Amino acid sequence: MGRIKVAVSGAFGRMGREVCRAVLNEESLELVGAFDLQGEDEDIGEILRKKPLGIKIEKLSKESLKKVQPDVMVDFTTPMSVIDNIELALQCGVRPVVGTTGITQVDLSRIGRWVDASGLSAIIAPNFALGAVLMMKFVSIAARYFPQAEIIELHHDQKIDAPSGTALKTANIIIECREEDPPERDELIKLSGARGAVQDKVHIHSIRLSGLVAHQEVIFGGTGQTLTIRHDSIDRQSFMPGVIFAVKKAASLQGLVYGLENLMDW
């Protein structure tokens, strides 16, 4: 099999640039396209402070996709555009690998139908950091033994969705793995939102500050003890091994995969 041809949607952004670098550093992959609304007509090589590559940033469209003919399109854009991007990729015979968060269960149902109709594959992951995937695996074990859990997720101040996709997925894992519901208790809430958002009795607290990248801790409570499971991404490079892993998997898969853990051997 020849090299997998990859395009990046959201290439001008911080995550998009890291993806472009990672693809260029992987011998089995070939960067063929870069899409974004910003940086149009700029050479992606120069944006990455490398020599010009002859790949200029374009707006994502059916025409631009068909021109570069990628096998896989990696998407790190915004919750407002990602669904349209996925649909467009599948219509053009391109397999999407998506790290953009803000995708709902309703969205996933629609995407699943599009993927099935196309006969292709799509991989959507709330978090591509392998450590975060392991964190969620450990959470699935702990949730069976601790009746209470709360999630604190911390991200950079440019992240526009809250809670994060990772936090929502972690809450779902806790709910699915619980042996019983947590005990009911009365609360005197003096300030609205003080206890965070609640998803099926799991409290989620979101923090947005400059200086952060992506962090999450899950605190479990039981009789006379607590257990904290925490993961920290201190650099965006932490997501790249997972992205490259997903791109390689997508080229030979069929169907929709939600969550990197479903591609891993446990």
Q: If you write DSSP's letter for every residue of 30-66 in order, what string do you get?
A: EEEEEE-SSSTT-BHHHHTTSS--S-B-B---HHHHH
Q: How confident is the model at residue 2, as a pLDDT?
A: 84
d(CA 121, CA 2): 19
Residue 192 has pLDDT above 90, yes or no: no
The catalytic residue among 155, 205, 215, 231 is 155
Instruction: Specify the fold of 4-124+236-263.
Output: Rossmann fold (3.40.50)
Q: In the chain, what are the domain boundaries? A: 4-124+236-263, 130-233
Q: How confident is the model at residue 266, as a pLDDT?
A: 73
Question: pLDDT of 235-252, one tens digit each?
Answer: 999 999 999 999 999 988
Per-chain mean pLDDT for the chain: 94
- Annotated catalytic residue 155: yes
Question: pLDDT of 29-48, one tens digit each?
Answer: 999 999 999 999 999 999 99
Least confident segment among 100-104, 137-141, 209-213, 242-246: 100-104
Question: Degrees (nearest 5) of the Cα angle 105, 154, 236?
Answer: 85
Residue 199 has pLDDT above 70, yes or no: yes
Q: How confident is the model at residue 1, as a pLDDT?
A: 59
CATH code of the domain made up of 130-233: 3.30.360.10
The catalytic residue among 137, 159, 203, 248 is 159
Residue 181 has pLDDT above 90, yes or no: no
For residues 9-35, give the mean pLDDT.
97
For residues 45-74, give the mean pLDDT.
96
d(CA 25, CA 114): 32
- Annotated catalytic residue 156: no
The alpha carbons of the chain give a radius of gyration, in whole angstroms, of 20
